[in-house]
């Protein structure tokens, strides 16, 4: 906190502390929400000046960090907000349909003074006092010049010890008639808003991206690009233009390719492009997926193909919720691809389905089994099918394994029954089994609840009953009581 060290009896005003909080929530806004700076009053002009100086200090006096010649105010019960707009480094979306944005809202959030506070006399304890002592009332009543300070700090995080001062100024009269107790500076992603000083774009035209150098917008149903001198650098012939780190993805009819910020083509033609086919994929591999003809490959940000063009599908392989493998498909085969080694593994099957974070169901030549993620066989590929038991919850995934037209119950690498049943189906917390057209009931451990001697079993939701039919006679069983036996 600054103090006048030359005056030992100086009174002080409160200290304005301005925090910069950077957030990245996106919201749409139009330039017509703002007013031109020519409409500002004296206080608003001073706020605009403070906002501009703070932003320039934060961005190291970057020449392009100029406020738009517009402002907006919001006067609430406890807070007064003064806002404008700037262009800064692009923020890119993490999904294919989105584009980037370089427009940011910068706002001063003033906290209103609810009850004015009188500052203590010099020599008394409390905020705002100066250095020195005083022993007589006449000395305490001695009037000295009052200096008013405004300090602008950048709060990098919620920890105030990491703050750094961006700007510190003083004046000989209160800031904004002493109406506020403090002010915070916010910077947030602001959609795509056109600076009228730079671009001459009709309001009815949709703008998908704009910064200090270029504006991408739609005119007569097609997209094009102009530069800050309002010269067309990419003609208005594109079905879509989306900006990414590696360039601007252009779609012309059914063909995709990338152009740079001067409108020059920088990649080959693609039939399909998926920049972020998984939101975490780009951060791990720094690649994106493209289709050329009827095959897929991965391309890096220099447009180099990182896989041979032989794959019918390329997918993220969700293994332990991390990206270490890919699931590829070629010539009807599913292939596990190791990212760290950047090569196909020996795990090549007709069918692959994730079972849990340790194992997967696979098939080859019509036979099914279970392997772990290193390829070790857990259940040999000798079975006709392996299926989840639907609508059933247990500590492990309950599976129905079928072989030679008979089914068995399997969980946690263990068979709970022999291959003796014609069918195994779930029945509201229990398991119905069938053998030779007779039905019975078992639990998730394979324990018999009702023997295999009934012609039909039906669950009655009201009362949680099982109605068992045998030789035309219906017997009702309480399902909870069956589990107690």
Which residues of the chain register pLDDT less than 50? 1-29, 95-96, 119-140
What pLDDT does residue 22 have? 42
Residue of 221, 222, 215 lying closest to 201 (CA atoms): 215
In the prediction, which pLDDT does 403 show? 97
What pLDDT, on the 0 to 100 scale, is given for residue 391?
58
| pLDDT at position 25 | 34
The reported pLDDT for the residue numbered 287 is 86
Q: What is the pLDDT of residue 239?
A: 97
pLDDT tens-digit profile of 37-60?
A: 999 999 999 999 999 998 998 888
The pLDDT score that the predictor gives to residue 13 is 40
Q: What is the pLDDT of residue 127?
A: 34
């Amino acid at each position: 906190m600054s103090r006048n060290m030359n005056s030992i009896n100086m009174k002080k005003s409160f200290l304005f502390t301005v925090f910069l909080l950077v957030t990245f929530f996106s919201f749409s806004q139009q330039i017509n929400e703002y007013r031109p700076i020519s409409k500002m009053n004296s206080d608003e002009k001073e706020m605009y000046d403070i906002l501009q100086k703070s932003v320039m200090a934060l961005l190291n006096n970057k020449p392009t960090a100029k406020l738009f010649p517009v402002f907006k105010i919001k006067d609430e019960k406890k807070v007064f907000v003064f806002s404008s707009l700037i262009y800064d480094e692009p923020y890119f979306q993490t999904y294919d349909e989105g584009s980037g944005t370089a427009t940011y809202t910068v706002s001063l959030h003033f906290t209103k003074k609810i009850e004015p506070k009188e500052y203590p006399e010099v020599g008394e304890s409390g905020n705002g006092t100066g250095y020195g002592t005083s022993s007589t009332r006449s000395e305490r009543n001695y009037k000295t010049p009052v200096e008013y300070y405004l300090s602008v700090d950048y709060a990098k995080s919620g920890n105030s010890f990491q703050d750094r001062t961006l700007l510190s100024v003083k004046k000989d009269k209160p800031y904004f008639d002493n109406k506020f107790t403090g002010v915070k500076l916010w910077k947030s992603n602001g959609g795509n808003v056109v600076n009228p000083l730079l671009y001459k774009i009709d309001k009815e035209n949709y703008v998908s991206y704009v910064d200090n150098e270029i504006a991408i917008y739609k005119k007569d149903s097609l997209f094009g690009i102009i530069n800050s001198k309002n010269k067309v650098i990419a003609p208005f012939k594109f079905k879509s233009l989306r900006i990414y780190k590696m360039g601007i993805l252009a779609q012309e009819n059914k063909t995709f390719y990338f152009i740079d910020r001067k409108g020059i083509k920088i990649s080959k033609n693609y039939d399909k492009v998926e920049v972020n086919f998984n939101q975490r994929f780009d951060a791990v591999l720094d690649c994106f997926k493209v289709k050329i003809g009827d095959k897929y490959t991965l391309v890096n940000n220099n447009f180099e193909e990182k896989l041979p063009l032989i794959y019918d599908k390329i997918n993220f392989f969700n293994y332990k919720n991390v990206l270490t493998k890919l699931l590829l498909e070629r010539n009807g085969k599913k292939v596990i691809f190791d990212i760290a080694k950047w090569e196909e593994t020996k795990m090549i099957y007709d069918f692959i389905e994730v079972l849990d974070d340790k194992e997967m169901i696979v098939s080859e030549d019509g036979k099914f089994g279970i392997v772990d993620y290193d390829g070790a066989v857990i259940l040999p590929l000798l079975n006709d099918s392996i299926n989840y038991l639907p609508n059933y919850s247990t500590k492990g995934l309950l599976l129905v394994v079928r072989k030679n037209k008979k089914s068995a119950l399997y969980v946690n690498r263990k068979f709970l029954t022999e291959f003796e049943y014609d069918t195994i189906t779930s029945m509201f917390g229990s398991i119905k089994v069938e053998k030779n057209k007779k039905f019975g009931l078992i639990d998730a451990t394979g324990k018999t609840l009702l023997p295999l001697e009934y012609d039909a079993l039906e669950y009655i939701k009201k009362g949680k009953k099982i109605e068992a039919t045998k030789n035309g006679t219906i017997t009702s069983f309480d399902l909870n009581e069956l589990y107690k036996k």
